[in-house]
Amino acid sequence: MDGRGPYGLACMNCFKAKSKCVGRPEGDGCQRCHRLKKQCNPSDSIRRRNSQKAQSSRIAQLESKLDDLFSLLQAVQQPPAPTSTASQTSVTGDHSSSDTSMSLPSSVPPTYHMPADESRNTEESLALFRDTMLRACPFIYLPPTVTAQYLQKERPFFFQAVLAVTTRSMREKRMRAQQFKATLAQATVVENRSSIDLLLGLLTYVAWGYDHFIHSAPTTSRLMQIALSIVYDVHLNKPLPGDHHMMTLLGGKAFCSGSEAPERHSLEEQRAVLGCFLLASVISSYFAQNDPMRWTSQMEDFLRTVEANAEHQNDHALALHVRLQLLAQRAAQVRDEHNGLLPIAFFLTSFRGQLEALRASIPLEHPNKYWLLAHLYYVELSINSTAFLPQGSLESPAGTPSAPSPPNSGSDWERVDSMQGSVKAIKSWMDVFFAFKSTDCMAFTIHLWAQLARSLVTLYRLSTYTEAGWDPEVVCNTVDLLEVVKHTTQKMDHIAGPNPVSDDFWTQVARLGAVIRAWLESQLQRDGNEGMPGWAPSGCSASGTQFPWDMSAELTDSLAYGNETWLQTLSSLPLPGSSMRMPP
């Protein structure tokens, strides 16, 4: 033993990591540094010599952070909101107004003047959100004449969400997310308010906030539930029933007669409800923590109204996205209602026919064409995989006996046909994904990432499925999973730029992609491409990344001790090499 171990005598590495430092019996360093292959240096003398300097540096860092926090709070501070037409017509829990129309006007007279630098930055954020991000999930229409200044005054919570999802700084994202949730809790729980502003802000943050990634916590489903509660609270999903018997004395709410009629709702409200259905359906399917939003006749009326009264090309895209997701949700519901006993041929014939009708309705030259095609192929994958998943064996590890098929589930040929349809749909989805520019990925919603995740997971399951009649080589010869991961990482790396900053969100995503890619390549090198069909097609070998894989011990150590610092640990890893860059 070299004497280290007691408090205050830890080596430099253990001291910085706040980890217990235990010396090795051989006397050459501590056990943790030996495990992580790090040079072990005693810190006693160094710490005494640099304590005063470190303390001064720490104070300077804290002062800098306080200055940044103060500046950020000033930037997002809501100006005094005088009574206006828009604020008077907001949807509230008590429906004190008989008019619930809340469409944004085409032009707004400026009444609040932001500082020049703040105004420029917020206008840039609004332009990014309106011109790029909304193409992926267009649940709101923002005319070009609507300014950041107007939104900050009339839609403060929504605008707060826009700023939170458009900033690239991880530190700022966390700060804005914390403020966003605090405002949400105060409004919905403490004050019991419901408004179109709250609903739009929630949908924006759920779609692009990546909260589960930033905070390493599955909060997205809970936020989606709050959005649904707002819709239900003001009866945007369906009108109040004629035989309702609530009494305000017992906690009910008094509603103005006729105010819930569909024709009284603005296009802004109707778009928001459709967007809520779209996101709720996707999140329910992906996280499996809540039920999807039930489709109603009033929502069908809203969908037809948006189609017939489109103010922008994004309205047509929204309608198609909703109809596509509605088809995927119905397929899953039919599967669950019949417990997998519905004949595959009948199931596929019905839903494939409806899907082809939607495919024919997508304009050839629509500016949102790729987003719509990606959704269409995802729904095609959903229908095919929903048809064969109830037969049970895809959830079992390769080589283990599968559960017997239900008596009416279909023949082996029908199951193989649906599996082949899944692989074909994934190949089509990947072709669309490769066609996206790198900058388009900045607009990816949780919906698009869920599509990618389902495609990759289904590929792996099909590539390890060994039942009679199915050839895993179909996957190997169709899609190269390693190439997909490599291409995705390259896109993220290009967004991060030639001189990536560690605090940048897309730099963090690029690092995560590099870790996944390096792990896959290490598996291929270790296993010699054997036992992992579909992960590397014949003729495809590991390319050999420049990523120093031994650094993954840092990540492993963080996860093993449950410190919830995996993202911070990931930030310390070297960036991907220049070989991973690609043109836009």
32/429 Cα distance (integer angstroms): 45
Provide CB contacts within 8 A for 158, sequence distance 6+: 151, 197, 200, 201, 204
Say what the pLDDT of residue 425 is.
95
Say what the pLDDT of residue 519 is.
67
Q: What are the backbone angles phi and psi of residue 253, rounded to the nearest 5°? A: -120, 140
Buried b or exposed e, range 395-409, using 16+ CB within 10 angstroms: ebeeeeeeeebeeeb
36-45, 374-383, 456-465 — which is least confidently predicted?
36-45
Q: Which residue has the higher pLDDT, 463 or 100?
A: 463
Structure token pair of residue 366: 């629509």
Q: What digits encode the pLDDT tens for the residues 26-52?
A: 777 888 888 888 888 876 544 455 555
Q: Is 504 within 8 Å of 169 (Cβ atoms)?
A: yes
State the pLDDT confidence band at 465, using cuts at 50, 70 and 90: confident
- What is the average pLDDT across 279-295? 90
Is it the case that residue 97 has pLDDT exceeding 80? no
State the pLDDT confidence band at 357, using cuts at 50, 70 and 90: very high
214-228, 311-325, 339-353 — which is least confidently predicted?
339-353
Q: What percent of the chain has pLDDT over 70?
A: 65
Is it the case that residue 137 has pLDDT exceeding 70? yes
Q: What digits encode the pLDDT tens for the residues 49-71?
A: 555 555 556 666 666 656 655 55
512/509 Cα distance (integer angstroms): 5
CA 389 to the chain's CA centroid: 25
Q: What digits encode the pLDDT tens for the residues 531-574?
A: 443 333 333 333 333 333 344 444 444 433 334 444 455 445 44
- Which residue in this structure is represented by tokens 């390259």? 490
What pTM was computed for the model? Answer: 0.70
Say what the pLDDT of residue 536 is.
37
Is it the case that residue 307 has pLDDT exceeding 70? yes
86/89 Cα distance (integer angstroms): 5
Q: Which residue has the higher pLDDT, 501 or 393?
A: 501
Say what the pLDDT of residue 564 is.
42
Q: Is 430 within 8 Å of 475 (Cβ atoms)?
A: no
Please tell me the chain's helix, strand, coil percentages from 3-state DSSP, rounded to the nearest 5: 60, 0, 40
Quickly list DSSP for 555-574. Answer: HHHHHHTT-S-HHHHHHTSP
Instruction: Return the domain boundaries, the chain.
Output: 12-76, 88-240+260-311, 312-474, 480-584
Determine the Cα angle at 291 with ends 290 and 293, to 5°: 125
Is it the case that residue 158 has pLDDT exceeding 60? yes
Burial class (CB in 10 A: 0-12, 13-18, 19+), 548: exposed
Q: What digits encode the pLDDT tens for the residues 194-226?
A: 999 999 999 999 999 988 777 766 788 999 999
Provide CB contacts within 8 A for 47, sequence distance 6+: 15
Q: Which residue has the higher pLDDT, 114 or 309?
A: 309
Say what the pLDDT of residue 21 is.
86
Q: Which residue has the higher pLDDT, 172 or 82?
A: 172
Is it the case that residue 5 has pLDDT exceeding 70? no
- What is the average pLDDT across 503-525? 74
Q: Which residue has the higher pLDDT, 486 or 549?
A: 486
Say what the pLDDT of residue 566 is.
46
Q: Which of 19-33, 52-66, 357-371, 473-487 has the highest mean pLDDT?
A: 357-371
